[in-house]
Amino acid sequence: MVASPIFGLWSNHRPCREPLVCSIFINLSANIYYAYAYLPSTGNKVHILMSRAFVGFGAGNVAVVRSYVAGATTLKERTGAMANMSASQALGFILGPALQACLSFLGENGVTVAILRLRLNMYTAPAFLAASFGVVNILLVLLVLREHHIDDHGRCIRAINYTSEDREEISEETEEAIDQGAVLTSNFLFFVVMFIFAVFETIATPLSMDMFAWTRRQAVFYNGIIICCIGFESILVFLVVKVASKRFGDRPILLTGLIIILCGFFILLPWGNQYPKIQWADIKNNSFVNGIQRDTKFSNSSVEPTGCPPEQTWCQYTPAILLAQYFTSAVLIGVGYPACNVMSYTLYSKILGPRPQGVYMGWLTASGSGARTLGPVFVSQIYTILGPRWAFSLICSMVGAAIALLSCLYRRLIAFSVRHRNLTE
């Protein structure tokens, strides 16, 4: 969230390979830092936290990538290129955990390289694998990437040897012509899209444990499979979006995606006469001391309590969410989210036009990062205290507001060149 506008501003005034190489190097170094976080005798948790913070800072280069793709494609190519990029990102989210699982064969002890003071085990190996990918990415950027910038119709604006004065001249010509209302609307829509998915992936584990009486291991395992399936589903959606956008346009797909998401969360609203299992047995067999549950009858019991925790009072009067509801919702959100995601920043890039988009893309990425930060906070407060009815009703209201806003400003969410042509006619 912090790094995206910074790297975006950098890419506006310098070749984009500079912030790309810098950000990837930060990410690479942070992963190595993480792998060696065990070395200090004290403060290991602080070192781990700092290493992950630097990884997040390095991830701010996504604004630069989107800005470059927007400036290197025509209007007709834009949606397909953005969809390919989103599909690659989704594939990375799927293969990343899979590669990490493959490295688990090293175990906790692993291999020790004394000369490097390195412990290569199941915890540090993924970090070094990520660092090696960073090296490959830096080489690709330096040796393969050739920067160019074209307008919406494919005419070359500047080649690799552009100057900052050229960018400032383009910025001054187009700044006043940009529809700021459409820009703010796009940022809000992207915030909503990222917020609702952050809520879904965060709420999946506690919701399934409360409603289906799954253990922690079952919840992590089954929800991991569900998220993985959503990832593959997203790749298929991206491929369909590339074709559908050429026939129907970007705005109808974005609106349809929001409606599908609304249906997905509406289905999750509890109804019926079946109620979730509550951990009443734990109240009988355990006592609460200083807010901590103490086992007084079976002190050595290793059986994990399942069901809705008794301290969540809404469990006693809120109907259970059925497994079929949960699966159906996951499928619908898995269709709506990727469609809205790629359409949000594709449409956003078209609204901005030929000006350097680094800063604007940085703000868009920052709004998405802010949404992913606030989503878990929302879940921990609203769901835990008030229950799924309030949580999903508020989500439905938010998505409904996004649909209403998109409908009201539908005519203004058009490409810069189209709007400029309409103004001059």
pLDDT tens figures, 205-227:
899 999 998 988 888 888 888 88
Mind listing the domains of the chain with CATH numbers?
3-273+320-424 (1.20.1250.20), 280-316 (no CATH)
If we measure between CA atoms, which residue out of 11, 368, 388, 384 comes closest to residue 196?
A: 368
What is the model's pLDDT at position 297? 42
Q: Sign of dihedral through CA atoms 237, 240, 246, 251?
A: negative
Q: At what angle do helices 358-378 and 3-13 cross, to 10 degrees?
A: 170
Q: Which residue has the tokens 């998109």?
A: 406
43's torsion region: left (phi>0), alpha (psi -120 to 50) or beta? left
Q: Which residue has the tokens 């790629």?
A: 342
pLDDT digits (tens, 9 = 90+) for 35-57: 999 888 888 899 999 999 999 99
Token couple for 288:
């609460």
Q: 72 near 149, Cβ under 8 Å?
A: yes
Q: Which residue has the tokens 């969360």?
A: 265
If we measure between CA atoms, which residue out of 367, 360, 398 comes closest to residue 183?
A: 360
State the Cα–Cα distance between residues 336 and 406, nearest whole angstrom: 15
Q: What residues pair up with 112 in beta bridges, in sequence order?
A: 119
Q: Cα–Cα distances in Å, from 106 out to 28, 122, 164, 322, 379?
A: 22, 5, 50, 39, 36
Q: 357 near 67, Cβ under 8 Å?
A: yes
Q: What residues pair up with 150 in beta bridges, in sequence order?
A: 156
- Give φ, ψ of 256 to 5 degrees: -65, -40
Task: Using DSSP, state whether 85 is helix, strand or coil.
Answer: helix
Q: What residues pair up with 278 in beta bridges, in sequence order?
A: 308
Q: 134 near 55, Cβ under 8 Å?
A: no
Q: What residues pair up with 238 in beta bridges, in sequence order?
A: none
Q: What residues pair up with 289 in beta bridges, in sequence order?
A: 292
Q: 112 near 118, Cβ under 8 Å?
A: yes
Q: Name residues of the chain where pLDDT drops below 50.
A: 159-164, 168, 170-173, 282-283, 285-301
Token couple for 145:
């990437």
Token couple for 361:
């893309």
Q: 238 near 83, Cβ under 8 Å?
A: yes
Token couple for 64:
């630069």
